[in-house]
Amino acid sequence: MTAPLAAIVYSTGFPIDELMAEVADTLKREAVRLGGVVQHNNGDCMSGCASMALEDLSSGQLFPISEDRGGGSAGCRLDAAGLAAAGAAVTDALSGAVDLVIVNKFGKQEVLGQGLRAEIAAGVVAGLPLLIAVRDDMLAAWSDFAGEDWQRLPPESAAVTDWAMAALRQPA
């Protein structure tokens, strides 16, 4: 039997980062040992955009993953160095004592074979239950990556938490 794998499928504009952080907080209160990362956004960059950071769920450390490129800039603001540092934290968590891995999302970088794609695969291979968010326009690429052995979850806190608790009760 393989470890459970689930994706919260959501639409553009849905506050998925807040949902992922809420689920992580709920699971921590249930004494679930979490590994992985969730994203936090702050509207404090000078151009009016949100600055982004990934929180390591094992240590609480924040890894900034956005660059403030100024008001006239266009294009991706993702800071590859911050993402790489967060990826190392996910890898470290996989070798530690965690019950469940959360990865904030399977997005554009993962579709391109970058981002946290290798860490997601390592989490599955490690035999740990893994929870991730996938925007509906990335679903085909996610399915190509993950295959058919995953569960689709609605973007609802109770449903996601229920899945996680059930995944933890499955025999290894």
From CA 43, how far away is CA 29, in angstroms rounded? 28
- Read off the pLDDT of residues 95-106 as tens digits, 9 standing for 90 and up: 878 999 999 999
Return the residue matching tokens 């690429």: 141
- Read off the pLDDT of residues 29-79 as tens digits, 9 standing for 90 and up: 999 999 999 999 886 544 556 788 899 998 899 988 887 655 555 544 667
Report yes or no on whether pTM surpasses 0.85. yes
Q: How far is CA 80 from CA 30, 83, 112, 131, in A?
A: 33, 5, 13, 22
Please calculate the CA angle 57-68-23 and round it to the nearest 5 degrees: 25
